[in-house]
């Protein structure tokens, strides 16, 4: 069995740091032009890396493209760690997939900058047609965290986590920015590592809109408190009701009513009332 330090060495040895000029179509085409079947835009993308000020890509992470580790992958992009000349810390670099149903990263960048204006989302740094550099969040995804969550876990941490996430949803709601993918926030809410009380970050504004009716808070509250297996864990930890009774319980009805009230009023008071009801 590997000791912790051996594991770390193995992980360390898997990390590949590479400057844009050293990228080749054969070796890195599938990362830069994911999924790698059409490499026509490779030279343009390498040149965009240069214009954006990317000094090197740091290929490491739990997701894989071939033998290389990356930070993550979505429907629109692959995400890698990178060094940007203007930044002290490594950044997260979204690289548009060649098969994405979006023609550029502009929308994602602009709406994330708007979210940043009221302190929501990773700090957006710079974008080009196919690239978007932002603050890298050292974190675990909400979905993975819930998989690991034990029903004897810390009530205090969970409360702070729910409160912090709902607070950001409230800010998105009152500023008229509908995220669009929060009905399943498992992949789009990141929980910062080594933070107590809990701090979360809502990522990925590519499906967001300022022209839709917002449903950020109601979607996430539904996920935390009313739907699915994860909400059963939440209710147990927060001791909100014996599970058997919950679906017909008064508390559930109260919660649904408070959410309706919040949706109608969309003000701080209805938000605070909701938090009080769920003891967060
Ligand atoms: N700023 C970031 N810091 C750390 N990890 C990130 C960051 N942005 C994205 N990721 C990771 O990359 C994955 C894909 O990113 P996402 O923005 O959802 O891409 P897409 O727009 O293609 O759906 C996320 O689920 C997350 O794991
Ligand atoms: Mg996504």
pLDDT digits (tens, 9 = 90+) for 2-15: 444 444 444 545 89
Q: Average pLDDT of 175-181?
A: 98
Q: What is the pLDDT of residue 244?
A: 55
Structure tokens of 65? 């493209």
- CATH number of this structure's domain 15-136: 3.30.200
Provide the terminal-to-terminal Cα distance of the chain, rounded to the nearest Å. Answer: 42
Whether pTM exceeds 0.75:
yes
pLDDT in tens, 147-164: 999 989 999 999 999 999
Atom of ligand 1 nearest to the CA of 139: 4
How far is Cα 90 from Cα 27, in angstroms, rounded to an integer?
23
Q: What is the pLDDT of residue 1?
A: 41
Backbone angles phi and psi of 246, in degrees to 5? -60, -45
Q: Average pLDDT of 203-228?
A: 95
> Does ligand 1 have an atom closer than 6 angstroms to the CB of 237?
no
Yes or no: say if 212 and 180 are a contact pair by the CB < 8 Å rule. Answer: yes
Q: What distance in angstroms lies between residue 43's CA and the mean position of ligand 2's atoms? A: 26
Q: What distance in angstroms lies between residue 160's CA and the mean position of ligand 2's atoms? A: 24
**236 vs 131, which has greater pLDDT?**
131
pLDDT in tens, 239-249: 876 555 555 56
Q: What is the pLDDT of residue 246?
A: 54
Residues of the chain above pLDDT 70, percent: 92
Q: What is the pLDDT of residue 241?
A: 62
CB-based neighbours (< 5 A) of ligand 2, an ion: 74, 204
Yes or no: say if 69 and 75 are a contact pair by the CB < 8 Å rule. Answer: no
Backbone conformation region of residue 279, classed left if phi is above 0, alpha if psi is from -120 to 50, else beta: left
Average pLDDT of the chain to the nearest whole number: 92
CATH topology for 140-277? Transferase(Phosphotransferase); domain 1 (1.10.510)
Quickly state the pLDDT bin for 187 (edges 50, 70, 90).
very high
Task: Provide CB contacts within 8 A for 72, sequence distance 6+.
Answer: 61, 62, 63, 78, 79
Q: Average pLDDT of 22-40?
A: 98
> Does ligand 1 have an atom closer than 6 angstroms to the CB of 142?
no
3-state secondary structure the chain: CCCHHHHHHHHHHHCEEECHHHCCHHHHHHHHCCCCCCCCCHHHHHHHHHHHCEEEEEECCCEEECCEEECEECCCEEEEEEEECCCCCCEEEEEECCCCCCCCCHHHHHHHHHHHCCCCCCCEEEECCCEEEEECCCEEEHHHHHHHCCCCCCHHHHHHHHHHHHHHHHHHHHCCCECCCCCCCCCCEEEECCCCCCCEEECCCCCCECCCCCCHHHHHHHHHHHCHHHHHHHHHHCCCCCHHHHCCCHHHHHHHHHHHHHHHHCCHHHHHHHHHHCCC
Give the residue extent of every domain in the chain. Answer: 15-136, 140-277
Yes or no: say if 93 and 87 are a contact pair by the CB < 8 Å rule. Answer: no
Q: What distance in angstroms lies between residue 158's CA and the mean position of ligand 2's atoms? A: 24
The answer to whether residue 107 scores a pLDDT higher than 90 is yes
């Amino acid at each position: 069995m590997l000791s912790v330090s051996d594991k770390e060495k193995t992980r360390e040895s898997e990390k590949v740091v590479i400057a844009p000029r050293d990228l080749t179509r054969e070796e890195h085409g599938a990362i830069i032009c994911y999924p790698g079947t059409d490499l026509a835009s490779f030279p343009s993308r390498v040149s965009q890396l240069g214009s954006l000020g990317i000094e090197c890509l740091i290929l490491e992470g739990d997701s894989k493209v071939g033998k290389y580790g990356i930070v993550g992958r979505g429907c629109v992009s692959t995400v890698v760690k990178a060094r940007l000349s203007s930044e002290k810390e490594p950044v997260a670099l979204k690289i548009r997939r060649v098969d994405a149903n979006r023609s550029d990263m502009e929308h994602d960048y602009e709406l994330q900058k708007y979210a940043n204006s009221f302190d929501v989302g990773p700090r957006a740094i710079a974008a080009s047609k196919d690239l978007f550099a932002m603050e890298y969040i050292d974190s675990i995804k909400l979905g993975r965290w819930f998989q690991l969550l034990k029903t004897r876990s810390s009530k205090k941490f969970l409360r702070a986590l729910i409160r912090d996430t709902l607070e950001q949803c409230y800010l998105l709601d009152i500023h008229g920015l509908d995220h669009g993918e929060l009905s399943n926030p498992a992949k789009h809410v990141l929980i910062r590592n080594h933070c107590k009380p809990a701090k979360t970050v809502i990522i990925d504004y590519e499906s967001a809109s300022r022209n839709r009716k917002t449903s950020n808070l109601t979607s996430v509250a539904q996920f935390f408190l009313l739907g699915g297996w994860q909400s059963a864990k939440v209710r147990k930890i927060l001791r909100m009701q014996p599970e058997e009774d919950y679906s017909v319980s008064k508390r559930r009805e109260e919660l649904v009513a408070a959410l309706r009230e919040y949706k109608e009023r969309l003000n701080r008071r209805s938000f605070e009332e909701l938090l009080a009801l769920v003891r967060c």
